[in-house]
Structure 1
Amino acid sequence: MIQVGNIDLDLFAKKIRYYTLKQFTLMGFGHYGGSLSIVETLAVLYGKHLNASPEIRDDLNRDYFVLSKGHAGPALYATLYLKGYFTEEWLGTLNKNGTKLPSHPDRNLIPGVDMTTGSLGQGISAATGIALGNKIAKRENYTFCIVGDGELNEGQAWEAIQMASHNKLDKLIIFVDDNKMQLDGPTLEINNPLDFVKKFQAFGYFSKRIDGSSVTEISEAVVWAKANHDKPTAIILDTIKGQGIPIIEEMGNNHHIRPDKATNNEIIKVMNILGKEIEVNG
């Protein structure tokens, strides 16, 4: 079992990316694109800023994390494995009969998952409720939530965003994975999201855009968010769907893919390179 703490975040991101790809290659298909685009953010949260671990999973004062874009579950599973919530054997059962790792996170099956998600738009509502409950209980813990850019087509999401602002949930930190693609195509063509930073600011948030592939910028943004008071914070992640794996980045539609043999072999080559880098660097 691999343990991590306050560690080399670039290396941790490589580990998450490697084990995310390993799950997909074993299964033969899946939501590659949106899982890979949040790897760096998961590395920063679970490697440095999120006060959560298997030892305190039942502590009400720990931090909470909600993956609203639940189809990116395999990236979260890789992260939870690396944090010691379960063994590597679980990763080989992704979405198979009898698995504890379904395609979307399930809090009743997976240790370390705070909220069942997958119905897009609902996770951000749950995260808002968790943050409100903690505020009412006068706890000082944080609630983090990753929401997809396409997911923000949902009206329910904006109801939750407004409600969080109204209640001054300054311990709620939302990340928008702006990878610019959704199930049916580019977000600009499906439903132009306009300027996410300005939209969140109009809803009463602290908000800014950062490079979602830079663990340094993400970590600095979390520090900035925690220094904010009396308002929730939205960090817009400028990402690429399939981030970190060029052959997937370059696909026209990589939301959910079933790679042919040649493509799968190329993905496995990249995965093996990552594996060797991890082995060399620990």
Structure 2
Amino acid sequence: MNLKHTAAKIRHTLCDVSSKTKTPHLGSCLSCVDILTSLYWQILNIDPSNPKMANRDYFLLGKGHAASALYTALAYRGYFGVESLYEHGQTGSQFEEHPGINAPSGVESVSGSLGHALSLATGMALSTQLQGRDNRFYVLMGDGELNEGTVWEAAMFAAGKQLDNLVAIVDFNKLQGTGESCDIMHLEPLEEKWRAFGWYTIRLDGHNIEALNAAFEEAKKQSQPVCIVADTIKGKGVSFMENDNNWHYRIPKAEEVERAKEELGL
């Protein structure tokens, strides 16, 4: 399977859904597509035909405003039809702008209020360890989400309990809703911070799917929680959206969706 082509299809669908449903946060979605592609097509122990299987791996989305990226990955992975994505953000839809309690198949947690996914995952990871189960837990957080103190409380807890079945991924696109992340909070040196908290830390290009695959496999061999700091570009894949924080909220016009499709080689 050509995972780069899969990622390109996801990116184009994200642009089209945003345009037609008038839902925002496109830039934040585009930055994490390659991470989701690596996880859902190469790493996670999952079965779309049996989404609640007891030994599955869990993916928790911390940056809940990127829900459309998760929904789209799940759709292309076979959890539900791609056409249902066009219900995103519509009245009464289970495809809410932030995943809610009635979220579609494959969504493992409510998210939107930032800073809670890692805490939730630490409890789940500890529970499965105590039960002697081998589930693994993957949490995707935005760099702006690291502003929240609950993230660092969870980081200390996870290291203290040596949760070797837990992987945190930071989508480090350097931007958040109101500006540049490192101007708002002192994040760097980010990998050293996680290492000081007791985590095995890997830093890589978050758009290199092969490197992501290798890092996730490396994470499975560790005896402590793992943090992958993924350097990404907000709006990745569409030149006029890349590193433009207006696309945190802007909705693309139909002609911009077509231009994006051409740039993505589809």
For Structure 1 versus Structure 2, the TM-score category normalised by the shorter chain is over 0.9
Does 1:136 find its partner at 2:126?
A: no
The partner residue of 2:257 within 227, 245, 267 is 267
The Cα offsets for residues 37-86 of structure 1, whole Å up to 9 and x where unpaired, read as 00000000001110112223122211000011010010111111011111
> 1:172 matched to which residue of 2?
166
> 1:39 matched to which residue of 2?
33
> 2:227 matched to which residue of 1?
234
Equivalent-residue separation in structure 2 for 1:138 and 1:268 (angstroms)? 50
Equivalent-residue separation in structure 2 for 1:203 and 1:258 (angstroms)? 39
TM-score, normalised to structure 1, is 0.90
> How far 1:29 sits from its partner (Å)?
3.9
> 1:206 matched to which residue of 2?
200
Aligned length: 266
Helix, strand or coil for the counterpart of 1:176?
strand
> How far 1:179 sits from its partner (Å)?
0.4
Does 1:58 find its partner at 2:52?
A: yes
* Structure 2: tracts of 5 or more residues without a match: none
Give yes or no for contact 1:30–1:256 (8 Å, CA) kept in 2. yes
Match runs of 1:111-126 below 5 Å = 111-126=105-120
CA spacing shift, 1:193–1:273, aligned 2, 3 Å: closer
The Cα offsets for residues 124-164 of structure 1, whole Å up to 9 and x where unpaired, read as 11111221111111111210110110100000111111111
> 1:161 matched to which residue of 2?
155
Does 1:25 find its partner at 2:19?
A: yes
Equivalent-residue separation in structure 2 for 1:239 and 1:104 (angstroms)? 22
Give yes or no for contact 2:175–2:245 (8 Å, CA) kept in 1. no
Does 1:245 find its partner at 2:238?
A: yes
Larger CA deviation: 98-107 vs 181-190: 98-107
> 2:185 matched to which residue of 1?
191
Equivalent-residue separation in structure 2 for 1:219 and 1:257 (angstroms)? 32
Give yes or no for contact 1:125–1:157 (8 Å, CA) kept in 2. yes
* Structure 1: tracts of 5 or more residues without a match: 1-6, 278-282
Equivalent-residue separation in structure 2 for 1:270 and 1:100 (angstroms)? 27
| AA in 2 matched with 1:197 | E
Which stretches of structure 1, 4 residues or more, deviate above 3 A after TM superposition? none
Give yes or no for contact 2:12–2:257 (8 Å, CA) kept in 1. no
Helix, strand or coil for the counterpart of 1:266?
helix
The partner residue of 1:255 within 233, 244, 248 is 248
TM-score, normalised to structure 2, is 0.95
Identity of aligned residues (%): 38
Larger CA deviation: 14-23 vs 168-177: 14-23
CA spacing shift, 1:153–1:22, aligned 2, 3 Å: same
Helix, strand or coil for the counterpart of 2:167?
strand
Give yes or no for contact 2:237–2:263 (8 Å, CA) kept in 1. no
Helix, strand or coil for the counterpart of 2:59?
strand
| AA in 1 matched with 2:176 | Q
> 1:280 matched to which residue of 2?
none
Helix, strand or coil for the counterpart of 1:147?
strand
CA RMSD of aligned residues (A): 1.5
